Amino acid sequence: MARLVMKFGGTSVSGIKEIENAAAKIAQEVKRGHEVAVVVSAMAGETNKLIEYCRAVSPLHDAREYDAVVASGENVTAGLVAMALQKRGIQSRSWQGWQVPVICNDAHGKARIEEIRAGEIEKRMKEKEVAVVAGFQGMTPRDRITTLGRGGSDTTAVALAAALRADRCDIYTDVEGVFTTDPHIVPQARKLGRISYEEMLEMASMGAKVLQTRSVEMAMKSRVPVQVLSSFVEETGSDFPGTLVTGEEDIMEKEIVNGITYSEDEAKVTLVKIPDIPGMAAKVFGPLAAANINVDMIVQNISQDGKSTDMTFTLAASDLPRAMEVLKSGSDLKGVEIRSQENVAKISAIGIGMRSHAGVAQTTFKALAEKGINIQIISASEIKISVIVAAEYTELAVRALHAAYGLEKE
Ligand code: ADP
Ligand code: ASP
Ligand code: MG
């Protein structure tokens, strides 16, 4: 007998038929004798619709009320899944974030889970009751509803698995596992049997939305094994049909490159003729950090005349308007020309085998050159190479790198 957390994403609960299908999978695991807790997303498209409602009322809406609205999608599916389980003769109860409770900080719209007090759920689990927890939501210390950022139900699931000391967290979705790249863009993508936490963390943070980045961070920290698998194939999680995200020590074959990711939520800011004197970087990035804006790649050119230089950095496109406002009015950059560009994408190649191999980046450069794709910025870390290219080349670049690193299925 194992203790499992089973999470169902938006497409896996997109209608009554899909909810019945999810309930059947849950029932199967319960009947095998496993202790099960469930986490659900809102029905596919629901969260987008709720966000649109908020924007329609006011583009500058209150973040607390935004959370109250967008958290509601998950409440519906939690209740429906609990009902579908009861119909199958399984004791079940739905739980909203505040009922568990899932305690979060007050960064509304992208809150972090600080603690899950799962005592009551655990007690009832031992009495064979299946908890169906609304993902993506929690409660601040001041009792306001909060949400965890897009894709946040993954994080609820892993955090609940950690709090319950579960043997595994199964993430049911619309693809059969983690692939070498997004299978919806590259049909030749190959499903990975296993992937290390480290690689999965890089893939998620570089744009593979199959798992929310924070869920991987949490799984790695609490050493919860995570399996990604499809809701729409016959087997359940206990048959191990998906991809296991696990410690590096459990990975036999350390591939040089295991995955290619892309992110189109990217923008580029260039500061032209910034004085080449100490303290300038702090003047640029200090106010951005204070405004909670993360910057990613940073490049500074060598000064030609010893007086001024150019600096370029990237950030999430969704943060660009606020960043421009901060740089233009909130920081001390008189005389510096600030340019921005939105239609760029970041393409990355990721693999733990890179640590012990030289010349890996050259494959990226050559493959892009052969397709005539210009590289605007390059950055590399121990297990990743990323480049910024014009957004119109995203798919072409992903396919080129996927083929160049030999990732296609046989
Ligand atoms: P859910 O609603 O179940 O949470 P998501 O849409 O958030 O599902 O995530 C699943 C999607 O992630 C897939 O449909 C796929 O298009 C995308 N994806 C991107 N990169 C990858 C990858 N490397 N492997 C698998 N899926 C990926
Ligand atoms: N429903 C939320 C979203 O669409 C959370 C999730 O699906 O994980 O972002
Ligand atoms: Mg998701």
At 51-91, the pLDDT tens digits run: 999 999 988 889 999 999 999 999 999 999 999 999 999 99
From 136, 154, 210, give the residue whose CB has the most ligand 2 atoms within 8 Å, as the site to mutate. 136
Same domain, 297 and 231: no
DSSP 182: -
Residue 254 lies inside a defined structural domain of this protein = no
Residue 367 has pLDDT above 90, yes or no: yes
List, for residues 32-57, the tens digit of each pLDDT value: 999 999 999 999 999 999 999 999 99
Residue pointed to by tokens 């199967």: 28
Kindly give, in sequence order, each residue whose CB lies less than 8 Å from that of residue 286, ignoring residues fewer than 6 positions away: 331
Tokens read off for 96: 């909203």
Same domain, 43 and 80: yes
- What single letter denotes the amino acid at residue 133? V
Residues with C-beta less than 6 Å from any ligand 1 atom: 9-12, 41, 151, 173-175, 178-179, 181-184, 208-210, 259
Residue 320 has pLDDT above 80, yes or no: yes
Same domain, 245 and 264: no
Is residue 386 within a helix (H) or strand (E), and if so which, with residue range?
Answer: strand 384-390
For the Cβ of 150 lying below 6 angstroms from any atom of ligand 2, the answer is yes
How remote is the CA of residue 372 from the centroid of ligand 1, in Å? 29
The mean pLDDT of 211-239, rounded to a whole number, is: 97
Domain span at residue 149 reads 3-249
Residue 300 lies inside a defined structural domain of this protein = yes
Query: Is this structure's pTM higher than 0.85?
Result: yes
Ligand 1: atom nearest CA of 177 is: 25
Same domain, 244 and 266: no
Same domain, 382 and 354: yes
Same domain, 316 and 207: no
For the Cβ of 151 lying below 6 angstroms from any atom of ligand 2, the answer is yes
Predicted pLDDT of residue 255: 84
Which CATH number belongs to the domain containing residue 58 in this structure?
3.40.1160.10
Same domain, 230 and 335: no
Same domain, 65 and 205: yes
For the Cβ of 73 lying below 6 angstroms from any atom of ligand 2, the answer is yes
- Centre a 10 Å sphere on the Cβ of residue 212 and count the other Cβ atoms it contains: 24
Ligand 1: atom nearest CA of 179 is: 24
Residue 331 has pLDDT above 80, yes or no: no
Q: Residue 228: name the closest of 156, 178, 165 by CA.
A: 178
Which of 222, 249, 276 finishes a domain? 249
From 14, 39, 43, 47, give the residue whose CB has the most ligand 2 atoms within 8 Å, as the site to mutate. 47
For residues 21 and 16, give the distance between their C-alpha atoms in angstroms, rounded to a whole number: 9
Residue 402 has pLDDT above 90, yes or no: yes
Same domain, 197 and 332: no
How many independent structural domains does the chain possess? 2
Predicted pLDDT of residue 358: 87
Residue 409 lies inside a defined structural domain of this protein = no
What integer best gives the mean pLDDT of the chain?
Answer: 95
List, for residues 115-158, the tens digit of each pLDDT value: 999 999 999 999 999 999 999 999 999 999 999 999 999 999 99
Ligand 2: atom nearest CA of 153 is: 8
Same domain, 192 and 291: no
Among the residue ranges 3-12, 51-60, 156-165, the one predicted with the least confidence is: 51-60
How remote is the CA of residue 104 from the centroid of ligand 3, in Å? 20
Predicted pLDDT of residue 75: 98
For residues 254 and 258, give the distance between their C-alpha atoms in angstroms, rounded to a whole number: 9
How remote is the CA of residue 308 from the centroid of ligand 2, in Å? 45
Among the residue ranges 22-31, 80-89, 278-287, the one predicted with the least confidence is: 278-287
Predicted pLDDT of residue 55: 92
For residues 405 and 191, give the distance between their C-alpha atoms in angstroms, rounded to a whole number: 15
How does residue 327 score in pLDDT terms, banded at 50, 70 and 90?
very high
Same domain, 218 and 346: no
- Residue 358: C-alpha distances to residues 349, 353, 363, 406, 410 (Å): 14, 10, 11, 17, 26
How remote is the CA of residue 309 from the centroid of ligand 3, in Å? 41
Residue 255 lies inside a defined structural domain of this protein = no
Ligand 1: atom nearest CA of 9 is: 3
Decide: 43 and 14 in contact? Cβ < 8 Å.
Answer: yes
Predicted pLDDT of residue 192: 96
Residue 410 lies inside a defined structural domain of this protein = no
